Amino acid sequence: MVDLVVLGLGYVGLPLAQQALRAGLSVVGYDVNVDVVRALNDGSSHVDDLSDADIAEMLRHGFRATTDQSEIGTAETAVICVPTPLSEDGGPDLKAVKAAAHSVARSLRAGMLVVLESTTYPGTTDDVVRPILEKSGLTAGVDFFLAFSPERIDPGNEHYGTHNTPKVVGGDTPESTGRAATFYSRFIEKVVRANGTREAETAKLLENTYRHINIALVNEMARFCHELGIDLWDVINAASTKPFGFQAFYPGPGVGGHCIPIDPNYLSHNVRAKLGYPFRFVELAQEINATMPSYVASRAQNILNDAGLAMNGASVLLLGVTYKANIADQRESPATPLARRLAALGAKVTYHDPRVERWSVSGFEVPKVNDLEGAVASADLVILVQNHREYEANRLAEVAKRFFDTRGVTSGEKSHRL
């Protein structure tokens, strides 16, 4: 018997397994991807926050990955950490969640704790996962324990990880909540109990909807501040001196990653489907943030026009094509729609990114430059999309003919800032 089986060995499941192992729990990882399982058992990591050395440490502590469903039944606790991408209708695609729940149901035992961590809409744990598990003949809250605990992984965050980020848990019964809280307390510093599964599910969506809407606010302010000749970055710095009632958010070329562009849509979709009216804040924020790559392309075109150059035929170098600084993850990166729009305007697009060896947009591979300073100096326009730590932005702006900073990190007069 093992303490924990983690279903889904990605950016959520692997750090969870790592922290449980460090606390002395015995852990098995289950995944349907044979290549991922083989690589992990060979000591190779495929996520940003864990190195090969981290995986080697996990293996030394007894971790092993498997594709064998029967291993699930050997665990006291099963935690589901599978992806929930957007479906065609704008809601979460629950195929992976349902498949994982069926896998658990086949091996479910009395007394087992099952926790869903995959981000989804309110009601998924009770209305989707629970009926699948109860096909085993066991009853949730009576024969086994069921809870939801939202993942709060922030890839690349050097201060907060699985161990010291408070863990929200909500069970389908108070006893299930208690069992889940006891389990997570074994390797996470602080556990916060929600009233139930729906409250825990909605808490995650509120967190990311809050960020989504506030990012949209400053993105819209970036547009009119530029037209009015106001330095928005200075405005934000000034407002940030208020010690209460204000939290700084910053504009950018668009939102990306696994949370902000996706999770608020789960809530919006759920409101429309169940209540019949729109969640207007979310839908407006989505509209604003989704148009930022096109706005950046338009600003880039104006920068070239002011220099007497056309976008058609101009060489445009993009710096940083991941969705976040200092990681390799490209999911939903705004660099992709930006490159697509620039190419549609006739630009010759190249890129540099110390973490991305190959990058394709709409099926076409974008040429990568390796000589950073040489490429910056020769391009008609350089656009800083993601400010990796390897970039000395002010120096690059001095070298470039024209430099468009979408992250507000430059201070020289040669740089155009969003």
3-class DSSP assignment, residue 374: helix
Q: By the 8 A CB rule, do 80 and 114 touch?
A: yes
Any idea which residue has 């029967």 for tokens?
70
How far apart CA 222 and CA 228 sit, in angstroms, is 10
In 3-state terms, what secondary structure has residue 31?
A: coil
Burial of 221 (0-12, 13-18, 19+ CB in 10 A): middle
Question: What is the Cα 67 distance to its own chain's centre?
Answer: 25
The answer to whether residues 182 and 213 touch, using CB atoms and an 8 Å cutoff, is no
Active-site pick, 259, 300, 327, 342: 259
Looking at the DSSP bridge assignments, the partners of residue 316 are: 349, 381
How far is residue 353's CA from residue 322's CA, in Å, rounded to a whole number?
Answer: 8
**Residue 69: closest CA among 36, 32, 33:** 32
Closest CA to 14 of 155, 110, 144, 197: 155
259 is catalytic: yes
Max Cα separation, the chain? 74
* Distance, CA of 351 to chain centre: 22
For residues 77-114, one letter each, b for 16 or more C-beta atoms within 10 angstroms of the residue's C-beta and e for the rest, the string is bbbbbbbbebeeeebbebebbeebbebbbebbbeebbb
CA dist., res. 121 & res. 93, Å (int): 11
Supply the DSSP string of 203-251, one letter for each residue: HHHHHHHHHHHHHHHHHHHHHHHHHHT--HHHHHHHHTT-SSS------
State how far the Cα of 208 lies from the Cα of 261, in Å rounded to an integer.
9
Of the candidates 171, 176, 81, the one whose C-alpha atom is nearest the C-alpha of residue 126 is 171
Residues that are catalytic? 259
